[in-house]
A = this chain, B = another copy of it.
Amino acid sequence: MSKLYHVLEFAKLAGVTVRALHHYDRLGLLKPNRTETGYRLYYLRDLERLEQIVALKFLGIPLKQIRHMFERSTSAMSDSLQMQRRVLEEKRRLLDSAIRAIEEAEKSTAPGNRPDSAILKKIIEVIEMQDNMDWSKKYYSEEAQAKMEERKKLWSPENQERWSKEWSDLFRDVEAALGEDPASARAQALAARWKKLVEGFTGGDQQITAGLGKMYQDRPNWPANMQQRMQPFSNKKVWEFIQKAFAAGKTAS
């Protein structure tokens, strides 16, 4: 004599709301029997189904897809779950990133009540940094990544700022010297400045330098926002000039 439940009763039993049961009913996920007057009547076996729905929902699977999984009883479950796991892992990455961004901002603005704009700036900075790190990871060896993690500590916003400015200056200066002989003293001085700035990033480490090289070669595949930021440095002649200058420097020495 398997007991019969009315909505509210059944909802409490399963820990969901009456409205949710209505919803699942309409979506065809869980269609209970009805009394003559239209009241919904649930059996105990409906509870099992409902628990499955709630579980799959907890995994972030949309209701429509849950229905599909029930209908085409073909064992698509395993595949769906695998896919869903990947989706969730990706979400977790973003979540972690957001949490870390807030943590960093809280840490670096802890002393006193800094203005909102300063906090925001820090947050944007951290997010961009993580974005870059995450994306550029694939160019660097494990070892190089570890070393960069170390060197990251030296990258205060001020250093960052100064480094960017020096690159801009240098690039402008090289552009102005494009007519020169790459072996000339002026060109060699520019090449030296260039080398120094690169080393400011690599710390002279071979592994990091190698990764940087790979990344540079892969320019066409950089994401849009990266290309955007590199646009002021896109003048190919400058890069060629510097390469020639390095070559000239080597043969000379």
Contacts and interface: CB of A to CB of B under 8 A. Distances in A.
A234 to B, nearest CB: 16
Contact of A98 (B15, B59, B127): B59
A8 interface: no
Q: Interface size bucket, A side?
A: 35 or more
Contacts of A95: 88, 91-92, 95
Given A84-B102, A92-B99, A116 B75 contact: yes
**Chain A interface mostly helix, strand, loop or mixed?**
helix
Given A77-B116, A88-B95, A82 B106 contact: yes
Interface string A195-219: 0000000000000000000000000
Interface stretch (A17-25, A118-126, A171-179): A118-126
A29 interface: no
Interface stretch (A50-58, A146-154, A181-189, A242-250): A50-58
Given A51-B124, A77-B119, A224-B15, A98 B102 contact: no
